[in-house]
Structure formats: C-alpha cells, structure tokens
Amino acid sequence: MSLPPNFSQAFDLSSLGKPKADTSTPAPGLEVTAQNLQTEILPLSETKPVVILCWTPRSIESLELLRTLGKLEAEDAGKWVLAYVNIDEQAPVAQALQARTIPYGVVFIGGQAIPFLEQPLSEAQLREVILKILTVAAQQGIGDEPVEATEPEEDEALAALDQGDYATAEAAYKRLLARKPNDNYAKLGLAQVQLLARTHGVDAAKVMEEAVKNPDDIELQIQCADVEVMSGYLEPAFDRLLRLLVLFDGDEQKRIKDRLLELFALVDPADPRVIKARNQLANALF
C-alpha cells in the first residue's frame, strides 16, 4: 500500500463528542504508527489477516468495539492479528487508511487493504465479519478456512432431521432459542423444521385444488401457502394470506398474521418480495 502525498497533514474528526472513553485499561492489539505501518503491519499481513480499527477516546462506542475485537482475537488464538489507530495520536495514519468515520475498520490481507466496518456492530455481527475475513484470506492462501462452531442443540436437530424426526428437531431448536434468544440461525432452523413438519406427506396438488374451491377457508389457505413456499412460489403464498388477512379479525386474523411472519422468517429479509409483503401487512393492520 502506498501512502498518499499528504500523509503528514492533520486529520480532523472534531465533530466527535464527549464523554470520553475510559482508557485506564490498555487497549488490546498492536498500535499502528507511521513508522510500523509499512515495516511491521504490511509484512505481517502476508501470513495472517491484520484487522485494524481506527478509534478515539472521544467515542465510547469505538473503544467498546476495540475491546470486543480484542476478546474475539483472544478466542481465535492467533488466526488473525488485531491492531488499532488512535486517530488523536496517529492522525496521519488514519488519513492514510482513508478513515471516513469513527469507528472505522480495515483489514490487510496479503498487503491489500479492505475496508470492513464504518459503524458500531454487536459482538455477534463482528464474529460473522471475522469469519468472512478468515474465509477471504484462506481463499488467497493466507491461513486456514475457518470452521464454524455449532451448538449442541443444532447438532441434535440436524441429526434428527436426517432421521425425519421433526418433533425432536423442533424441540432442539426451541431449547437453543431459550438459551440464545437472538440466534438468527436457530430462528431460521426452527422455521424450516416447522414448515417441513407441516407439509410432510401432504398432497400438494390436492391442497391447491381445494384452496381454489374454498377461497375463504382459513385452514386450507394457510396450508396452501405452506405448500407454495415449499415449492418456491413466495409471492402467491404471501398474496394468498394477505388477501385472507383483511377478511377476518380477532383470533383468526392473528393466526393468519402469525403464519405470514413465520413464512417471512424463511426468506432473506432483504428479498424484495418479503419487503413488499411486509409493507402490505403493515398497511392491512394499521
């Protein structure tokens, strides 16, 4: 990486406010300076990823992020290296790294800089980012492909699925969610298992035929939506339940809404079909 001509100029992010972060405990990682950026940091990135966070004592969030990265680095036991830039003390380095916001993260892999962070992230989100960094590095011949640890309940659920035992798989995912309520993989796994259980042994063609004959039958329409989602027909499934939603109220409407939300959970939230259906659901309810 070549440093810009204005490397020595001041770097100003004075808009950052107070209160200041508690810096009584040393920051984790290697401090990046103008002297060691090219002599130590870049060469080190030829053997393992070097994750650099630009932070400042004027931003509590940025220090908390640095400490969380320090925790993850310790857990990964040498698979990658954490480094940091205190922009108040190493402004030219932050400018060389093209830091635009604080916190700002960049990773060096084989001497190449890749920005990866421009806002605070949770520990779970950071873990996912680190896994991606390790994967990219391994693809370039630096380090090993990461092996994602699985939860024991997840292992139990997958083993049960192999045997077609949906009840055991569902119970395992529910126990995992009781222990880790925000585990998105567990939420997705549970939704998938429940859909598999509901559609197992169902005559899809007969269900769809009966649904056409009985457009206001809640049980049939919900079952047909399940079958359609299993077949990849998301929009017809969503539209079917959205139409039904406005025909009923009370407990019946809640049942339809809950099934819609369960089906949404099976799809990437950024999918335009889900976004459209969510907006329609909100308009129908409010």
Domain locations along the chain: 30-139, 152-285
Within 13 Å and on the Cβ side, how many CA atoms surround 143? 27
In percent, the amount of the chain with pLDDT more than 90 equals: 52
CA 286, CA 282: separation in Å to the nearest integer? 6
Give pTM, 2 decimals: 0.52
Considering the domain delimited by 30-139, tell me its CATH architecture. 3-Layer(aba) Sandwich (3.40)
> Measuring CA to CA, how many Å separate 105 from each of 39, 52, 86, 108?
20, 6, 12, 10
Neighbouring C-beta atoms of residue 152, cutoff 10 Å: 11
Q: What pLDDT does residue 22 have? A: 54
Tokens of 233: 């027909």
Mean residue pLDDT of the chain comes to 86
Is residue 137 pLDDT above 60, yes or no? yes
The dihedrals phi and psi of 79, each to the nearest 5 degrees, come to: -75, -25
The stretch 101-106 carries a mean pLDDT of: 90
Is residue 52 a contact partner of residue 106, using CB atoms and an 8 Å limit?
A: yes
Rg of the chain in Å (alpha carbons):
25
Residue pLDDT, tens place only, 150-209: 788 988 998 999 899 999 999 999 999 999 888 878 888 999 999 999 999 999 999 999
Evaluate the omega torsion of the peptide bond into residue 26 and state whether it is cis, within 30 degrees of 0.
Answer: no
- Determine how β-strand 104-109 pairs with β-strand 50-55: antiparallel
Is residue 3 pLDDT above 90, yes or no? no
| 8 or 137, which is more confident | 137
Is residue 266 a contact partner of residue 191, using CB atoms and an 8 Å limit?
A: yes
Is residue 37 a contact partner of residue 96, using CB atoms and an 8 Å limit?
A: yes
Is residue 90 a contact partner of residue 32, using CB atoms and an 8 Å limit?
A: yes
CA 262, CA 197: separation in Å to the nearest integer? 13
Within 13 Å and on the Cβ side, how many CA atoms surround 48? 14
The stretch 55-77 carries a mean pLDDT of: 90
**CATH for 152-285, options being 1.25.40, 1.20.950, 1.20.1740, 1.10.1740:** 1.25.40
C-alpha of 101 from chain center = 21
Instruction: Annotate 129-186 with DSSP letters as a single string.
Output: HHHHHHHHHHHTTSSPPP-----HHHHHHHHHHHTT-HHHHHHHHHHHHHH-TT-HHH
Q: 82-110: b or e for each residue (b if 16 or more CB lie within 10 Å)? A: bbbbbbeebbbbbbbbebeebbbbbbbbe
The stretch 33-38 carries a mean pLDDT of: 90
30-139 and 152-285 share one CATH topology?
no
Q: Which is nearest to 51 in space by CA: 24, 83, 26?
A: 83
